[in-house]
Amino acid sequence: MLVHAAVYEGKAKRVRIFDDGLAEIEFKDDVTAGNGLKHAVFVGKGVLCCRMSELLLAYLQHSGTPTHFLRRSSLSTMTVRAVQIIPLEVVVRFEVAGSLEKRTGLPYRTPCVPPVYELYFKRDDLGDPLLNEHHVRLLNLATTDELRTIRELALSSATKLHALLQRAQLALIDLKFEIGRTDSSLLLADEISPDTCRLRDVVTGQVLDKDVFRRDLAELLPTYQEVLRRLEQVPELQSLDRSMSRSGKES
């Protein structure tokens, strides 16, 4: 019988670690912004983020990126490999927005060529500060080799997602990854959803991510439903989905 070794409760997810090297991530309906200062619950958000994460993590896994994803185990939970999360937010930016706009004074949506790569320390009490690689070494959060792998994982995954999302008429402005450590390797972990990236309609520039909540621009649930609708129309994701449901039925 599987025994819970630990349960971690985050702002938008609950993680149960089992004693067999697996973990289950439950996507909650909670949404927060501004380091938890703004909070709301939208019934159904967890299911939407779980489904979008499933599609995007499975896509990356299928394209050769090592991720923690194994399968979606219910509408709002995924089964993943248990990893030790490195306390870094790894951000890749294709266009200027958000904190980069504030830090540099560059106009919104200035192209970032090449993409900008950033690391933030996951420490709510410090306000998640920007770190450089020397700071990461000083804090002993990752080795020099791991830092190289993290950078390669983040930039290659972000580039693949940027191209994929373009086929869903979504411009990927920036996104945040988390990286997990197993005994032998580093894996892309956590979720990939409109909670953790900025998406704009490629034609109109309409905001299609958590910025609608951060900035009170539109209703969150219909926005996320629209992103999922577009993803589900991308042929590569449709065939991946078919093969996942076939192997789910067989197992």
Of these, 98, 117, 121, 160, which contacts ligand TMP (CB under 6 A)?
Answer: 98
Q: Please give the backbone phi and psi of residue 80, each rounded to the nearest 5 degrees, phi first.
A: -135, 165
Of these, 67, 193, 196, 223, which contacts ligand TMP (CB under 6 A)?
Answer: 196
Alpha helices in the chain (DSSP H): 45-62, 98-104, 133-138, 144-166, 211-214, 220-231, 235-250
Is 99 an interacting residue with respect to ligand TMP (CB under 6 A)? yes
- Over the window 11 to 50, marking each residue x when it contacts ligand TMP by CB under 6 A and - when it does not, the resulting string is ----------------------------------------
What's the closest the beta carbon of residue 101 comes to ligand TMP, in angstroms? 7
Peptide bond into 114 cis (omega under 30): yes
Sequence-distant (6+) residues with CB within 8 A of 33 are 210, 213, 214
Q: Which is nearer to ligand TMP, 50 or 197 (CB)?
A: 197
- Per CB under 6 A, the segment of 13-21, 48-56, 93-101, 183-191 that binds ligand TMP is 93-101
Residue list 147-176, contact with ligand TMP (CB under 6 A):
174-176
Alpha helices in 33-72 (DSSP H): 45-62
Sequence-distant (6+) residues with CB within 8 A of 152 are none
What's the closest the beta carbon of residue 103 comes to ligand TMP, in angstroms? 9
Q: Which is nearer to ligand TMP, 18 or 121 (CB)?
A: 121
What's the closest the beta carbon of residue 177 comes to ligand TMP, in angstroms? 9
Burial (CB < 10 A; 0-12, 13-18, 19+), residue 207, is: buried
The answer to whether 108 and 215 are in contact (CB under 8 A) is: no
Q: Which is nearer to ligand TMP, 14 or 214 (CB)?
A: 214
Is 72 an interacting residue with respect to ligand TMP (CB under 6 A)? no
- Per CB under 6 A, the segment of 2-10, 89-97, 157-165, 242-250 that binds ligand TMP is 89-97
What's the closest the beta carbon of residue 94 comes to ligand TMP, in angstroms? 10
Beta-carbon count within 10 A of 147 CB: 17
Q: Report the alpha-carbon distance of residue 201 to residue 153 in Å, rounded.
A: 26
Q: Please give the backbone phi and psi of residue 45, each rounded to the nearest 5 degrees, phi first.
A: -65, -40
**Residue with the shortest CB distance to ligand TMP:** 98
Interaction site with ligand TMP (CB under 6 A): 89, 91, 97-100, 128, 174-176, 196-198
